């Protein structure tokens, strides 16, 4: 892995990002620099840069990390979106059923494929090879389900405004350890930012961001000590649902970060839970464009989640 840290001087003000980097003695062509930017390997002032033509400003600190061999392997490890994964495609708005294990956006390791790139490739197959794809919101890597993307700046602005105003209705499904005594309960607390060392989010008394989720127990298996819970988040903090459930002592099955020690289950269930945690963005309601009625999209459960429900005799699996 190679890395560069560059600071923009006055002489380069307004220059394209990819052109600026290629002139800084990095021994990479402008085309290769653009590939690294597209793969998520360039940051401006600690924020990922997504557009190679973006102009740089005096004082900008640009960091670039890349591995040329990893860049070569991207196509070999590409994730293919299937027609069934595309839940909505109108008004420059796209809804996709993200599988568990796929990052929503580019990571520092350019060999790791991500949802944005997969959607862009799918649109090229549909006849739009130059489409720009913007992620409207994110899911954690192991969380599956509905993700919204947009193909125009206007659509991004309109959709992010709805998330900011909390008019988007989000419904998740979680398989949790433990059986709540209340059918419905709410967790409202302050959450910290993601800790840079541990990667964890914590419940704090002050100094954090407000968060609120309402939960409803759909089914429980007393023999296994496991519950299927509907989660309705009103805010959208990092790891919110996972932290809220762990805080109530109902951690999500398979969550390696917030359920490090778990009760051993039958071998079949253990093997399923070892693959990814069981949190799924099941349903999302939003207004696709001004003047339209709200649209609701629903994402089918991933195979492991569904298989776990069937093995645990949960009625939802056959509903």
**Residues with a known catalytic role:** 140
Q: Rounded distance, CA 226 to CA 313, Å? A: 11
Rounded to whole angstroms, what are the CA distances from 103 to 1, 119, 160?
A: 20, 12, 20
CA-to-CA separations, 52 to 29, 60, 63, 64, 157, in angstroms, rounded:
13, 15, 14, 13, 21
Cα 151 to chain centroid distance, Å, stands at 18
CA distances 291 to 89, 91, 235, 260, 287, Å, are: 17, 12, 25, 47, 8
The alpha carbons of the chain give a radius of gyration, in whole angstroms, of 21
């Amino acid at each position: 892995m190679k890395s560069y840290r560059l600071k923009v001087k006055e002489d380069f003000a307004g220059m394209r990002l990819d052109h600026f980097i290629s002139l800084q003695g990095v021994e990479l062509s402008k085309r290769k620099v653009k590939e690294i930017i597209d793969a998520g390997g360039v940051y401006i002032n600690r924020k990922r840069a997504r557009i190679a033509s973006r102009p740089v400003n005096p004082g900008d600190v640009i960091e670039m990390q890349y591995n040329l061999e990893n860049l070569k392997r991207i196509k070999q490890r590409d994730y293919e979106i299937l027609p069934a994964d595309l839940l909505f495609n109108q008004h420059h708005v796209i809804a996709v059923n993200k599988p568990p294990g796929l990052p929503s956006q580019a990571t520092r390791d350019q060999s790791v494929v991500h949802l944005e790139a997969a959607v862009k490739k799918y649109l090229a197959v549909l006849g739009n090879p130059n489409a720009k794809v913007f992620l409207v919101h994110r899911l954690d890597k192991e969380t599956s389900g509905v993700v919204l993307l947009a193909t125009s700046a206007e659509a991004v602005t309109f959709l992010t405004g709805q998330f900011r105003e909390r008019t988007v209705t989000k419904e998740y499904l979680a398989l949790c350890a433990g059986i709540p005594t209340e059918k419905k309960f709410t967790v409202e607390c302050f959450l910290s930012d993601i800790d840079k060392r541990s990667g964890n989010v914590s419940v704090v008394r002050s100094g954090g961001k407000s968060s609120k989720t309402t939960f409803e127990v759909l089914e429980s298996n007393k023999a296994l000590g496991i519950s299927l819970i509907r989660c309705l988040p009103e805010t959208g903090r990092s790891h919110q649902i996972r932290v809220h459930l762990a805080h109530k002592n109902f951690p999500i099955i398979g969550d390696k970060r917030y359920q490090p020690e778990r009760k051993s289950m039958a071998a079949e269930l253990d093997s399923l839970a070892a693959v990814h945690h069981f949190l799924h963005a099941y349903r999302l309601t939003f207004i696709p464009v001004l003047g339209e009625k709200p649209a609701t999209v629903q994402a089918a459960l991933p195979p492991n989640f569904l298989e776990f429900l069937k093995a645990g005799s949960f009625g939802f699996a056959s509903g």
